Amino acid sequence: MKIKDARSLPAIAQEDLRRKAVKAVKGGRTQEEAAQLFGVARQTVGRWIKSYREGGSRRLKACRQGRPPGRSLQPRQAAQIVRAITDRYPNQLKLPFYLWTREAVARLIEERHGIALSVWTVGRYLKDWGFTPQKPLRRAFERDPEAVQKWLEEEYPAIRAQAKKEKAQIYWGDEMGMRSDHQTGTTYGRKGETPVIPGTGQRFRCNMISAITNRGKLYFMVYRKGFSTVVFTAFLRRLTRQIEGKLFLIVDGHPVHRSRAAKDWVAKQKGRLHLFFLPGYSPELNPDEVLNQDVKSNAVGRKRPHSQNEMMSTVRGFLRSRQKQPVKVKNYFQEKHVQYAAL
């Protein structure tokens, strides 16, 4: 006899089949004989017999189809979970996870509401709630949310108002190091054969410092050695020579930016140049970081240089082309996390 999947039968038919098989075994037939008689697997009959012995006839009754009663979230409970995963990270809720995975959400639901759900069911809930798996922006643990909020709501609006009052231009500055073996993007190759990118076998690097405005202006300097007060003050000197009027430059809290040498140089400008500092560990608030990514992705990462001079020439050429494309520079400020600086 062909073995059938009892789970494909209606619930009431499943119950009737279970009762008949158990009755047959109680009447003296072996489990294998009962399985052949009713066209199911012997292991299935074995599970039915075990259930009957553990709970009697009630364990053979038909179960409701779909999600078991008491195993679904009520609207109020669902709203609490959505709020928790929107406002907090797992580690902030003392859960042993770094990111909100389905497993992490399942653990949260079980701890908050005593409901154990499969990761598949949790995935359905997340989809219904409008959540999708995404690659998160990397932020340091040391980042202070209150300081960021103060910057967005108080400090930067005050800088903007002051710049308007004093007719100063606001620039956003940053520096970046680049390696010759950096690569980005994908390349086609035969299935099962990973393409190999030829290189010189040597590693070298160069660095750049830049400043941009939401009006599309861009200034830069490419250099060989590491970032230092000498490099920073040289760049500031270039900016003050090339830009007319007052200049407000917003940078991060790098030690060089806050150094005594930098402060002394700025002081000598007699109010023409002012430095402002972003909250600590918050690079995503700086629009100039978007330019950095543009350079890495479209200048350095797509062409393997053979020497440091070639690498520096490539970076300079790319930045000069961006200087002639103010609309692209303006578009850096349209990234979601820096739109606040677009005004």
What's the mean pLDDT when you consider all of the chain?
85
Pick the residue with more confidence: 278 or 297? 278
pLDDT tens digit sequence for 237-256: 999 999 999 999 999 999 99
Q: What is the pLDDT of residue 187?
A: 47
Query: Which residue would you say has higher pLDDT here, 294 or 193?
Result: 294
pLDDT tier at 68, thresholds 50, 70, 90: very low
Cα–Cα distances (Å) from 270 to 91, 234, 240, 247, 260, in that order, read: 48, 17, 12, 12, 16
* Four-way CATH pick for 6-60: 2.130.10, 1.10.10, 2.60.120, 1.20.81: 1.10.10
- Nearest-10 crossing angle of helices 119-128, 102-113: 90
Mean per-residue pLDDT, 138-156: 82
Question: For residue 71, what pLDDT is reported?
Answer: 58
Q: What is the pLDDT of residues 74-121, one digit of tens each?
A: 988 999 999 888 887 787 787 777 678 888 899 899 888 888 888 889
Task: With a cut of 90, say whether residue 160 has pLDDT above it.
Answer: yes
226-237 pLDDT, tens digit per residue, is: 999 999 999 999
Please tell me whether the overall predicted TM-score, pTM, comes out greater than 0.85 for this model.
no
Can you identify the CATH homologous superfamily of domain 145-180+202-341?
A: Ribonuclease H-like superfamily/Ribonuclease H (3.30.420.10)
Domain boundaries, the chain: 6-60, 75-128, 145-180+202-341
Are 41 and 17 in contact by the 8 Å Cβ rule? The answer is no
Give yes or no on whether 6-60 and 145-180+202-341 have one common fold.
no
Would strands 273-277 and 247-251 be described as parallel, antiparallel, or unpaired?
parallel
pLDDT (0 to 100) of residue 338: 94
Element containing residue 338 per DSSP (H, E): none
Structure tokens at 125: 């809930």
Residues 6+ apart with CB under 8 A from 29: 37
State percent of the chain over pLDDT 70.
Answer: 85
pLDDT higher at 59 or 79: 79
Neighbours of 228 (CB within 10 A): 13
pLDDT value at position 249? 98
